[in-house]
Amino acid sequence: MTNFHSLSATELMVLIRTRKVSPVELMQASLARAEALQPVLNCFITLCGDQAMQKAREAEQAVMDGKPLGRLHGIPYTVKDLVNTADIRTTFGTVLHQANIPTEDAPAVARLNAAGAILLGKTTTPEFGSQPFTRSPLFGQTRNAWNAQRTSGGSSGGAAVATAAGVTPLAIATDGGGSTRIPAACNGVVGIKQSNGVVPHSQAQDLFGNQTYVTPTTRTVADTGLMLDVMTGDYDLDPWSIRRQSVDYEKAACYRGDFCGKRIRYCYAPEGRTVSNDVKENFDAALRVLEGLGATLEPFDARDFIVEPIWRTINHTVWRARFLPLVEKHGDTFSETFRRQVLSAGDFSAIDYQEAMFARTNLFKRLQALFDSADLLVTPTLTRTALPLDTDLFDPFEMDGRYYDGIRTHWYPWTMVFNMTGHPAITLPSGLARDGLPVGIQFVTRWGSDEQLLRDAAIFEQAMGIPGQPPDVI
């Protein structure tokens, strides 16, 4: 068997346990694929070849000896280079930290390792995850898996590209404003931002006001549920994770059923925003699928859902507190785009910050109220397909012949919302646009109902089918 790149972790687990696939053979194939695609896609900052092969040999021996096996025994996975990995460098996408080697694993990494998964490498991210694109003075550009002249998205671009290209079935990413869902939609894979606390976060500096998440990226909903099931659990150093109720996410992600009796409310874009003709056609087709599965559909009014100013005030103030000393001392090591974002927060006062936090609370209440008349909210993930590769965060971008200023507020107005409110949101592949690039649809459920989100996602995926991989990298 040589088509490992097309198999899910759920499928590979069975093959390893029944001795139809060797962990060594699987890791060799994954590393060979990573090395072959790296010159084109540039989705890795570090490959752990020797260490990964040693662990694969140990995993194979455990199978041969009949020893107890972990749930993810022998499955290769990747980790975004913002997430700590013990004894393996974590650069945060910066020249300044290119030699940084953490002493311990982040909880999500530790839990995947304990379940028998094997780290293949660290995937690319822009400086401190600061852009919806994946580029850095440290490594250059990461390219879209479907079209090398388009962006991978960001800031988890390396994770999404490596997953879409079939290097590994599982990837740890992060999401602070859409950083998992944006590249997942750009590359045609599944990306979830779970409710706060489902996966412990050990690196957030403001644990109580945290809006960033350590997340799974996979090619199937079942693999997303599997990853969540392994990564979740009580963690004393994250207040949102303490004594969290146990949920069988793996089972939820394998649900089979329909949407009969379900109320789905949908919206194309917040008031004052628009979507491309391609995205509208794709979204309309997806709505017809949902209706065919028995759902009752009703649009919702998205006035007052332009949250980018709120997100930017909170997020950039945090960045300024964290990174201004580095920019002032080592400014020439950072990109102009990163410096500009950090310095821009100097315009915000303490009152501006607190008013943004008040607005965040009101946004949460407005969103919760929508679930009084809905079981599921549905939106496009992005307003158009992946942007051209060299687009800068501060550039205007084209959509159906018109140019728009403000990439955050016009390209992905629906992702930051749910970082602000904490509601679980997942992007799923929903077909290809006319330009041959993937389009994503986003599902959102009530705060804390991640199990329901996975069930709904599984129903939609079963109806749509699991998409194929990019033709140029098969």
- 380 vs 104: CA distance, rounded Å: 38
Q: Which helix (H) or strand (E) holds 119?
A: strand 118-123
Contacts of 452 (CB under 8 A, 6+ apart): 252, 375, 445, 446
For residue 344, which of 305, 382, 313 has the smallest C-alpha distance? 313
Residues 6+ apart with CB under 8 A from 177: 211, 311, 315, 408, 415, 416, 419
Other CB atoms within 10 A of residue 175 CB: 28
Q: Which residue carries 């489902």 as its tokens?
A: 198
Where does 209-303 have alpha helices with state H?
A: 221-231, 249-252, 277-292
Assigned token pair, 289: 């699928």
Helix then strand then coil, in percent of the chain rounded to 5, is 40, 15, 45
Cα distance between residue 122 and residue 204, in whole Å: 19
Strands (E), 228-375: 263-266, 296-299
How many Cβ atoms from other residues are within 10 Å of residue 463's Cβ? 14
State how far the Cα of 285 lies from the Cα of 297, in Å rounded to an integer.
Answer: 13
Sequential DSSP letters for 160-217: HHHHHTTS-SEEEEEESSSTTHHHHHHHT-EEEE--TTSS--SS-S-SSS---EEEEE
Distance CA 446, CA 374 (A): 9
Q: In this predicted structure, what is the pLDDT of residue 474? A: 59
> Biggest alpha carbon distance in the chain?
63
At a CB cut-off of 8 Å and minimum separation 6, what does 25 contact? none
State how far the Cα of 263 lies from the Cα of 271, in Å rounded to an integer.
Answer: 22
CA dist., res. 193 & res. 230, Å (int): 16
- Looking at residue 244, its pLDDT comes to 87
The pLDDT score that the predictor gives to residue 325 is: 97
CA dist., res. 272 & res. 306, Å (int): 8
472's CB contacts (< 8 A; 6+ apart) are 146, 148
Distances (CA, A) of 305 to 23, 182, 211, 418, 459: 47, 18, 17, 11, 28
In 3-state terms, what secondary structure has residue 118?
A: strand
Q: What angle, rounded to 10 degrees, do the helices at 107-114 and 221-231 form?
A: 100
Beta-bridge partner residues of 170: 77, 218
DSSP state of 295: P
What crossing angle do the helices spanning 23-41 and 9-17 adopt, rounded to 10°? Answer: 150
Closest CA to 26 of 41, 15, 35, 37: 15
Regions of the chain short of the pLDDT cut 70: 1-2, 474
* pLDDT at position 2: 65
**Top-level class of domain 4-473:** alpha beta
Integer CA distances (angstroms), 393 to 58, 336, 390, 447, in order: 45, 11, 10, 30
- Catalytic positions are 80, 155, 179
Q: How many CA atoms lie within 13 A of 281 on its CB side?
A: 8
Half-sphere exposure of residue 144: CA atoms within 13 angstroms, side-chain side = 27
